[in-house]
Structure 1
Amino acid sequence: MALLQFKKKTTETGPKPVNPAVEAFLDGYSIEVMPRTAEKIEDFRDLLPAGTRVYVAHIEGTPIDDMVATAKRLAAEGFRVMPHFPARIIKDAATLNDWISRYQGEAGVDQALLLAGGVDKPHGDFHSSMQLLETGLFDKAGFTRLHVAGHPEGNKDIDPDGSDKNVMDAVRWKQSFNERTDADMALATQFCFEAAPVIKWADALKDAGVDLPIHIGVAGPAKLQTLIKFSIACGVGASLRVLQKRAKDVTKLLLPFEPDQFITDLAEHKAAHPDFNIERVHFFPLGGIKTNANWAIENGGSSALPANQQ
């Protein structure tokens, strides 16, 4: 269902067509950084739209001091900061409360992404995002937005047999939590590469009575080898075949893989079905923050105009 009406965007290489469906779909996109990758960016206002939600990923072993410092820096530049709270690396409720207090007191943070975390053995009392929610500490601190993980292609850590039963049970629990609390919640997903399975999954959630907004994970432009490596490590499912097919084409093997087709397919589906429950795009800048932001600028029109150019 190609959209034929395009606006023009001037770039260094000349006019580039901007698909209006993509422009609308990228409005309010978010992006993920880590303290060590954020350090490489002199000023995020040169790359991201004002008020962009920036997730700060908490990798095992990263000191909380570095996490809070990154959050503070991003907040000072005018961005909405959403730090990760990986349950399995949080020792106990006292540690969780300390992290919440520090993010709030030092960086003005009032939102969080809660997830189990990519650690096999919990470091302490928590092993799931649901346990973090049940502490009531985020509500007590006045956090207004809480995102939780979504898995369009399943999660073998939770369902080794591939049944997706436990994943669906967890999503229903999160839906129930959203309904009985004042939390403003959404599902932030792992990155995928093929639109059809994502659309099928989103529709299945709606049919199951789950109406949490979906923020779909998208891998930013990167070398094909880099994307395959991260995809395997992160458990990307059937849509990995898109990369595997690309790898067989020697003429494209050394070219960066960009998310043009994936985002266009989802954007045009959204344009044709306004009630489609994918609300936002969330970028994983696997090929670098600057590379990802520049791709968004070139393809997102007014939706991706950096703060310093607005």
Structure 2
Amino acid sequence: WIAMYQGEAGIDQALLLAGGVTTPHGDYHSAMQLLESGAFGDSGFKRLHVAGHPEGNKDIDPDGAMINVDSALRWKQAFSETSDAEMAIVTQFCFEAQPVIAWANELVANGITLPIHIGVAGPAKLQTLIKFSIACGVGASLRVLQRRAKNLTKLLLPFTPDFFLAELAAHKAENPQFTISHVHFFPLGGIKTNAKWAIKNGGSSAIPVSQS
């Protein structure tokens, strides 16, 4: 099916996620196995994205540590150095900039220099974001939403990622080598709403990565 997507639809990039199921559906139980199979290289894929977890992942590290997720990223970093495809890390959506900055810097300190496409929740009602955050295991930065929820005047207003992205952009401007290079939107409030917000606030930066 990988070759079919590439050959018939012209798809040349993929996001590889193992998922959170207890029992694998198929022959592979990890993105690393799929990468190692050579299927994407044989099909001519030019860009491959792998998962990053700034706040950890309880499916991978049930104790809340980062041992297994960091080990997987080190493996993927090594794989990227032998692959013809460009590779990048795409993260779960986050709401708080400073922990993300610290996480990205720690990756570099550990030799993981793949560019990062930071996950960002697009404009949506606060209740919607809280629901998805709990379902997706976004833990630490959920407190940003909880603080806002205490203000009843803001409870029904759309939550937008302005402040989060402004902090990251300011850090990037001061530190050009910072490895976060793109934004990966989760359009939890709808694709049209997200696209309009991105174009209005991102200007020329609101360009899909496939066109950059």
Question: What do the CA deviations read for 1:20-48 (whole angstroms, capped 9, x no partner)?
Answer: xxxxxxxxxxxxxxxxxxxxxxxxxxxxx
Aligned to 2:52: 150
- TM-score (normalised: structure 2): 0.95
Aligned to 2:134: 232
Which of 54, 69, 72 lines up with 1:167 in the alignment?
69
Which of 184, 187, 209 lines up with 2:111 in the alignment?
209
Amino acid aligned to 1:120: T
Question: What do the CA deviations read for 1:66-100 (whole angstroms, capped 9, x no partner)?
Answer: xxxxxxxxxxxxxxxxxxxxxxxxxxxxxxxxx21
- Consecutive unaligned residues of structure 2, counting only runs of 5 or more, are none
Amino acid aligned to 1:131: Q
**Shift of residue 271, structure 1, vs aligned partner:** 0.7
Helix, strand or coil: the match of 2:124? coil
**Pair 1:249 & 2:151 matched:** yes
Amino acid aligned to 2:173: A
* Pairs aligned (count): 208
- Tell me the distance in 2 between the aligned counterparts of 1:195 and 1:212: 19
Aligned to 2:6: 104
Aligned to 1:116: 18
- Tell me the distance in 2 between the aligned counterparts of 1:305 and 1:117: 28
Tell me, yes or no, if the aligned pair for 2:50 and 2:89 is still in contact at 8 Å: yes
- TM-score (normalised: structure 1): 0.65
- Consecutive unaligned residues of structure 1, counting only runs of 5 or more, are 1-98
- Tell me the distance in 1 between the aligned counterparts of 2:207 and 2:55: 32
Aligned to 1:192: 94
**Shift of residue 181, structure 1, vs aligned partner:** 2.2
- Tell me the distance in 2 between the aligned counterparts of 1:218 and 1:156: 20
Question: What do the CA deviations read for 1:280-308 (whole angstroms, capped 9, x no partner)?
Answer: 001000000111011112111233379xx
Larger RCO of the pair (alpha carbons < 8 Å, separation 6+): 1
Across the aligned residues of Structure 1 and Structure 2, the Cα RMSD in angstroms comes to 1.3
- Tell me the distance in 2 between the aligned counterparts of 1:232 and 1:305: 29
**Shift of residue 120, structure 1, vs aligned partner:** 2.6
Tell me, yes or no, if the aligned pair for 2:97 and 2:164 is still in contact at 8 Å: yes
Classify 1:305/1:270 alpha carbon distance in 2 versus 1 (closer, same or farther; 3 Å).
Answer: closer
Amino acid aligned to 1:216: I
**Shift of residue 163, structure 1, vs aligned partner:** 1.2
- Tell me the distance in 2 between the aligned counterparts of 1:205 and 1:241: 24
- Tell me the distance in 2 between the aligned counterparts of 1:294 and 1:280: 18
**Percent of aligned pairs sharing the same letter:** 75
Question: What do the CA deviations read for 1:127-171 (whole angstroms, capped 9, x no partner)?
Answer: 110010011111111111111000011001000001110001000
Tell me, yes or no, if the aligned pair for 2:199 and 2:206 is still in contact at 8 Å: yes
Tell me, yes or no, if the aligned pair for 2:15 and 2:49 is still in contact at 8 Å: yes
Helix, strand or coil: the match of 1:180? coil
Helix, strand or coil: the match of 2:81? helix
